[in-house]
Amino acid sequence: MIKLFLHFFYKLKISPLLWLLAAGAIITGHFREILIWYVVVLVHEMGHFAGAHLFKWRIQKIELMPFGGVMAVDEISAKPLREEAVVTILGPLQHIWMIGLSYFLAEISVLDQSSHQWFVYVNLAVFTFNLLPVWPLDGGRLLFLFFASILPFHKAQNLFLLFSFIFFMVLFLFYILNFEFHLNLWLIAIFMLTTHYIEWKRRKYVFMRFLLNRYHHPRSCKKKVRVLVHGSTEVAAVLNLFYKSCNHEIVVKDMAPLQLKEHDLLHAFFHKGQMRCALREIFR
């Protein structure tokens, strides 16, 4: 357990903006409030970290920023759906026991009412905000995993990012039309919009990493998917039909029918550079 904590803090990075925010909190007399806020966020990220450690994921860093925390891991697109779901949900679950602990400490007079109320409020705020179905929040990640469980990875990527952007914009417009100006809201909005823009620009790279990992590290999955295509279908178009956490059997309906394994397609794509070739040109 001690080794796990040491590893967590070794991977922890603190944004320079957070130090500025802490300095401002000290000057304005709100240091206790900001300290409680980031203790809650820290425990939230510990939940994610514990899950990632359980599944032996390679963790790049855990970064604390003014709006919360972000854990970066290697090859996230290649992780099994079940593992991703567990790691994602372990963050929000931490708020349940933290709220329970706060009530217990307040009941035995270890925690004063003011600190207790603020601690509970922060937990509820972080919990609720993180479960919004918006990228890169936990709710957004869970929604993407749902999309990826019923749709091909490529399609799930595009539909989810579009849905996430539209949902956030509707929520943001509703807020600014019905509530007073708040600087923090605008800072969060800028961060979220920037994140969406970056993720949209790199979606092809993420998809390519997804395919590359399947090519170099094939794994056996319980779920099997049969992909029905025609001989005129290009290799790249077939790969767009691949699902996350599934094994695929490609059936070319108008060629005998011909049955191909996914590794055959991935080999043609990466090793032979035949991404724009029709299946009938490669597999005769």
Q: Is 45 assigned a catalytic role? A: yes
Amino acid at 254: D
Report the C-alpha gap between 161 and 170 in whole angstroms: 14
Catalytic position from the list 45, 84, 234, 281: 45
Q: Which two tokens stand for residue 102?
A: 């706060």
Residues 6+ apart with CB under 8 A from 198: none
Residues 6+ apart with CB under 8 A from 65: 15, 17, 18, 191
Q: Which two tokens stand for residue 166?
A: 């539209």
CA 157 to chain centre: 12
Active-site amino acid positions = 45
